[in-house]
Amino acid sequence: SEVVPYVSFSPNPLSDRSGFTVSPGNQTVIVAVTPTYIEVKNDTCTDFFLRVVASVGDAAPVTPTPVPTTTDAAADAG
């Protein structure tokens, strides 16, 4: 997996054309990454807006498998 933090001094960096950049130094310290959240710490005394792009390798798309609605094991073995 990959987590890339971007920072900007504008709340709307694309619409006002101020832009954003990959976070330099210790402005964003990635504390934890789990399947459900990313914890980021601002280790400076500067306020800024954060954009995080997270991706997971080259894994193939996952297609959900339907779950049988029956609870009868004999019917499933059938």
Three-class SS string for 6-71?
EEECCCCCCCCCCCCEECCCCCCEEEEECCCCEEEECCCCCCCEEEEEEECCCCCCCCCCCCCCCC
Q: Which two tokens stand for residue 37?
A: 């959240």
Mean pLDDT of 54-77: 57
Q: What is the mean pLDDT of the chain?
A: 79
Residue 71 pLDDT more than 50? no
Mean pLDDT of 18-42: 90
Residue 78 pLDDT more than 60? no
pLDDT at 22: 93
